[in-house]
């Protein structure tokens, strides 16, 4: 079965990005000139996932506005002859079929995915975390979702993306216990959310891309709140891994967590350097700045 649906959970509180995320949804904070969530919707569409469900919440209405038409703005740009901007603004609204469901309480990442049950139905689907971007200009994007979809279709089991992280950083992620079955593909023997350094079974950290069997919904519905009082997706995936088997795909391209301030700054600099219009002047500025620091 072709996988077409992508779920983007965006109902979290974004506490790591306060105070900026107090009134603005974290997912709409621009990385150079595009909101983080737009990079992820574009990535989904390029991977053939053109039915998008965004899980939002009460304070996140701006996300739906961003992917909607803005007739007033369009007619202003049209009469001002700003055709390039007009095309760009229209393209955002035409990217994909974007649907929305609200999570009424922030009960966790796993709970947000459970909100997708009715829309997804009985077919495999992708989950893409909007904080984690795989910007096309930095390379690697083309290898990620297409590879995961291919693995799902071939092995008929759920697949999660993992990346090797420095050992001391594994405590911030879900860590897997891998049994490699192919180059870059491992069966998940176990998975521990935010392990201590001693507990961590490997330095392979779960990152924000998943292709899941619809059985995840039953697994999540039976999951009790875990770490931080939230329903964790990791617990649901662990159940799938135990009951039917699940796999990890080791992604070695660039993935940046723009929900963290330092990573956000790094992503902004790298994407500004790769930007068609801004790249050259930004590089000159940066070179001057760095020379001044030396």
Interface with ligand UTP (CB under 6 A)? 9-17, 55, 103, 106-109, 111-112, 129-131, 259
Helices (H), 28-140: 36-46, 61-66, 71-79, 83-94, 109-114, 117-120
* Smallest separation (angstroms) from ligand UTP to the CB of 148: 18
Q: How far apart, in whole angstroms, are the C-alpha atoms of residue 50 and residue 20?
A: 30
Residue nearer to ligand UTP on the CB measure, 40 or 77: 40
Residue nearer to ligand UTP on the CB measure, 148 or 185: 148
Residue nearer to ligand UTP on the CB measure, 13 or 87: 13
DSSP-based helix, strand, coil % in the chain, nearest 5: 45, 25, 35
* Smallest separation (angstroms) from ligand UTP to the CB of 191: 16
Residue nearer to ligand UTP on the CB measure, 55 or 165: 55
Retrieve residue 122's tokens: 């009985």
Residue nearer to ligand UTP on the CB measure, 132 or 141: 132
* Smallest separation (angstroms) from ligand UTP to the CB of 274: 24
Evaluate the CA torsion angle 194, 198, 201, 204 in order and state its sign: positive
* Smallest separation (angstroms) from ligand UTP to the CB of 37: 9
Phi, psi of 200 (to 5 degrees): -55, 120
Q: How far apart, in whole angstroms, are the C-alpha atoms of residue 268 and residue 127?
A: 24
Q: How far apart, in whole angstroms, are the C-alpha atoms of residue 201 and residue 190?
A: 8
Q: How far apart, in whole angstroms, are the C-alpha atoms of residue 85 and residue 182?
A: 46
Q: Are 216 and 109 in contact (CB under 8 A)?
A: no
Q: What is the DSSP letter of 207?
A: E
Beta bridge partners of 162: 206, 250
Residue nearer to ligand UTP on the CB measure, 28 or 185: 28
* Smallest separation (angstroms) from ligand UTP to the CB of 261: 10
Residue closest to ligand UTP, measured at CB: 12
* Smallest separation (angstroms) from ligand UTP to the CB of 250: 21
């Amino acid at each position: 079965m072709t996988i077409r649906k992508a779920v983007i959970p965006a109902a979290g509180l974004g506490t790591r990005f306060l105070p900026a995320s107090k009134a603005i949804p974290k997912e709409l904070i621009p990385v150079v000139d595009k909101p983080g969530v737009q990079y992820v919707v574009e990535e989904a569409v390029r991977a053939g996932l053109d039915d998008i469900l965004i899980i939002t919440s009460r304070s996140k209405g701006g996300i739906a506005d961003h992917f909607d038409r803005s007739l007033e703005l369009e007619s202003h740009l049209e009469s001002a002859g700003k055709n390039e901007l007009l095309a760009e603004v229209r393209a955002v609204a035409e990217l994909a079929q974007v649907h929305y469901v609200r999570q009424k309480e922030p009960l966790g990442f796993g709970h947000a995915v459970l909100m997708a049950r009715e829309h997804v139905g009985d077919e495999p689907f992708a989950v893409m975390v909007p904080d984690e971007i795989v910007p096309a200009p930095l390379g690697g994007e083309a290898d990620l979702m297409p590879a995961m979809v291919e693995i799902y279709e071939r092995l008929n089991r759920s697949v999660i993306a993992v990346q090797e992280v420095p050992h001391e950083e594994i405590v911030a992620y879900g860590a897997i216990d891998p049994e490699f079955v192919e180059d870059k593909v491992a069966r998940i023997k176990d998975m521990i959310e935010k392990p201590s350094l001693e507990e961590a079974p490997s330095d392979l950290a779960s990152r924000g891309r998943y292709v899941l069997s619809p059985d995840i919904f039953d697994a999540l519905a039976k999951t009790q709140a875990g770490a931080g009082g939230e329903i964790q997706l990791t617990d649901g995936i662990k159940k799938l891994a135990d009951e039917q088997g699940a796999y990890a795909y080791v992604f070695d391209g660039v993935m940046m967590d723009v929900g963290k301030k330092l990573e956000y700054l790094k992503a902004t600099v790298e994407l500004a350097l790769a930007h068609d219009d801004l790249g050259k002047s930004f590089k000159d500025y940066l070179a001057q700045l760095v020379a001044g620091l030396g």
